Structure 1
Amino acid sequence: MKNFVDKSTKLFPVWVILFSFWAFLEPQYWNNLDFLIIPLLSLIMFSMGLTLKIEDFIRIFKNYKIIFIAVFFQFLIMPFLGFILVKFLNIEQIIGLGIILVGCAPGGTASNVICYLAKGDVALSISITICSTVLAVFLMPILFWVYTGSNIEIPVYQMMLSIFKIVVIPVFLGVFFNNYKLIKIEKIKPGLPLLAVASIVLIITIIIGSNAEEIFKNGYQIFFVVVIHNLLGFLIGFYLCQKIKFSHKISKTIAIEIGMQNSGLATALAVKYFGSLAAIAGAFFSIWHNISGPILASYWKKKYK
């Protein structure tokens, strides 16, 4: 069983690519399954909670400086990169708004999963995600205004409720079950990575199937910008963390948090305030960072054990 799980997990990027092509070519099988995304993410968060102990969180809050630096990098690097790419490549204004909006978003919950697969510090990743999401209530509109000259209204209650349901409740339920031994954790732990892989693949497939028409219609330029935005976030984040002498484990955790945005939130805001054309960047980012993230996780897992 363990051998099967290990082999299947190592093929993560292959599954992502294969299912992505399937969803793009035959979206009719996937474009009505959006309702599964939140339950799947919640399941992943619960499985990660099963690997955590209360001591993990106590240790993190003792190192509050790391969380502050990570969140600072998050809101410094990605909005600026989005702005520079839009200006340098002369992106159409409405599409550019969507790109910058993605850059101003907090870290996405999928970053916690990628951190888990990369053997990073999962407790730190979750703490950073929660902190950046709370701060995004204030920082996201301010940064978006700074870089675009526009003001937007953030759906504060809905965003907080979503992060609470997707991350906080499942993780703490997992931690509770793990610490109080309410279920036989050790027997199911070997299968948790495969559960994470299967859930992420399904989420990506659903996102692609739901946005296949927009992806087909709107050119390669947006996809190119999204790829560069994401990869530069990873690289610059890791480089800065290494420069300030963080360990490899913490450096890759923060870099993943920076590179992987809450593109779902950015997409929702773009549709509401600027129309579907502005939302394409968020949709592309949702697809791409869930491909680049697992590939990076596989590389870092081998390189920095």
Structure 2
Amino acid sequence: MLTKMSQFATKTFLIWMFIAAIIGFMFPKQLAPLGSTVPWLLGVVMLRMGMTINPKDFKLIFQTPRSVIIGVILQFAIMPSLAYIIVKIFQLPPELAIGVILVGCCPGGTSSNVMSYLANANVALSVAITSVSTLLAPFVTPALIYLFAHEWLNVSFISMLWSVIQVVLLPIILGIILQLLFKRMTKKASEALPIISVIAISLILAAVVGGNKTHILQTGALIFLVVILHNVCGYILGYALANLLKLDRKDKKAVSIEVGMQNSGLAVSLATVHFSPLAAVPGAVFSFVHNISGPILAKYWSKR
């Protein structure tokens, strides 16, 4: 029963995102206070990732390191560069510019693995790229943020580094330790983890939408345009460069999805802790957008 519920929660993920966004708009005053819990909720998602990481996932790094290295490099090269270019083209105000760049500098989202499966892509490669980019994120993400957004920043590198370590690295390490020490328990718990992740991500989206309802309404059209452009160009450039580097079709699809789908929850968390509420808006909108575009792209590729 629990497995069926988890499968249902995963398959209907997009519906829950819609519901969460609508609830955020309808009850902003009630949900805005939840904004302070965003780092904790993201920590729960990362803990789940740590509990499900399998040592076999990393075998691919040694078996076919070229594909994994290409995927990770493209992940951290394309999206931050695209974010900076888009910010400059649209001349966004500082808070929104920081928010867009935060999204671009984050690692791949965990839902990208599900999309790779649905797209009939190389799921093992997708999981390896997500795992490696997420483990590198505590060091690479703050560095990229400073590289691309230093003209708008007034936060120390160390404080941002520590935030990413707390929200990403420590929960993943804890999850791996729990998996090693309590294999049977974590195996049973893993059946409920997709449900917990969907609930946590839905609460993050509802809290951010509720807390930023006014800002979203004021900048809605522009932010949606910027985020959709960022997301779609990520897919296109990820696939095009993977094709240029002679990866096979399944690998190209996996890399494209990894590049286009970001851990926007981390961007929201960093914006909430270190910047203004307006800086969290691009991350919230990206969460909504890539959970629509991802399934559409996956369905298109699966049919072909």
What range describes the TM-score normalised by the shorter chain of this pair?
A: 0.7 to 0.9
Alignment correspondent of 2:14? 13
The equivalent residue for 2:120 is none
SS at match of 1:184: helix
The two structures have a TM-score, normalised by structure 2, of: 0.78
Structure 1 distance, partners of 2:177, 2:251, is 25
- In structure 1, the partner of 2:133 is 128
For residues 218-247 of structure 1, what are the alpha-carbon distances to aligned partners after superposition, in whole Å with 9 as ceiling and x for unaligned?
A: 341232112211221133223322442056
Q: Measure how far apart 1:289 and its partner are.
A: 2.2
Corresponding residue of 2:158: 157
Q: 1: CA distance between counterparts of 2:206 and 2:213?
A: 10
The TM-score with structure 1 as length reference comes to 0.77
Which of 290, 296, 303 is the equivalent residue of 1:293?
Answer: 290
1:135-150 correspondence runs (5 A): 135-144=140-149, 150=151
Cα separation, partners in 2 of 1:87 and 1:173, compared to 1, 3 Å:
closer
C-alpha displacement at 1:177, in angstroms?
Answer: 2.6
**Stretch moving more, 158-167 or 74-83:** 74-83
Answer with 184-193 or 78-87: which moved more. Answer: 78-87
Deviations 1:39-61 (CA, angstroms, capped at 9, x unpaired): 22222222222222334335436
User: Aligned to 2:237, what secondary structure does the other structure show?
Assistant: helix
Contact 2:160 2:270 in 1 (8 A): no
Q: Which runs of 5+ in 1 are unaligned?
A: none
Helix, strand or coil: the match of 2:53?
A: coil
Deviation for aligned residue 1:16: 0.7
Does the 8 Å CA contact 1:234/1:255 hold for their aligned counterparts? yes
Does the CA-based 8 Å contact 2:31-2:206 persist in structure 1? yes
| Residue 197 (structure 1) aligned with residue 194 (structure 2) | no
1:166 and 1:62 mapped to 2: Cα distance? 30
- Structure 2 counterpart SS, 1:159: helix
Counterpart CA distance in 1 for 2:169 and 2:258 is 19
Letter in 2 for 1:143: F
| Paired AA for residue 271 in structure 2 | T
- Structure 2: gaps of 5 or more residues: 118-122
Query: In 2, are the aligned partners of 1:235 and 1:255 still within 8 Å (CA)?
Result: no
Greater Cα shift, 69-78 or 187-196: 69-78
* Pairing of 1:56-67 with structure 2 (within 5 A): 56-57=57-58, 59-60=60-61, 65-66=66-67
Q: What corresponds to 1:248 in structure 2? A: 250
Q: 1:184 to 1:253 in 2, by over 3 A?
A: farther
Alpha-carbon distance, 1:25 to partner: 2.4
1:24-103 pair list within 5 angstroms: 24-57=25-58, 59-60=60-61, 65-66=66-67, 68-86=69-87, 88=89, 90-91=90-91, 94=94, 97-98=97-98, 101-102=101-102
Q: Distance in 1 between matches of 2:70 and 2:85?
A: 22
Distance 1:61 1:28, change over 3 A: farther
Distance in 1 (alpha carbons) for counterparts of 2:211 and 2:297 = 31
The residue that corresponds to 1:117 in the other structure is 114
| Distance of 1:84 and 1:266 partners within structure 2 | 21
Question: Across the two proteins, how many residue pairs are aligned to each other?
Answer: 290
Instruction: Specify the alignment match of 1:22 in structure 2.
Output: 23
The alpha-carbon deviation at position 252 of structure 1 amounts to: 2.5
Per-residue CA deviations over 1:119-161 (Å, capped at 9, x if unaligned) read 443343132133244134444333346xxxx374553222222
Matched, 1:107 2:111: no
Residues 156 and 83 (structure 1 numbering): CA distance in 2 closer, same or farther, change over 3 Å? Answer: closer
Write the distance in 1 (CA, Å) between the matches of 2:198 and 2:44.
12
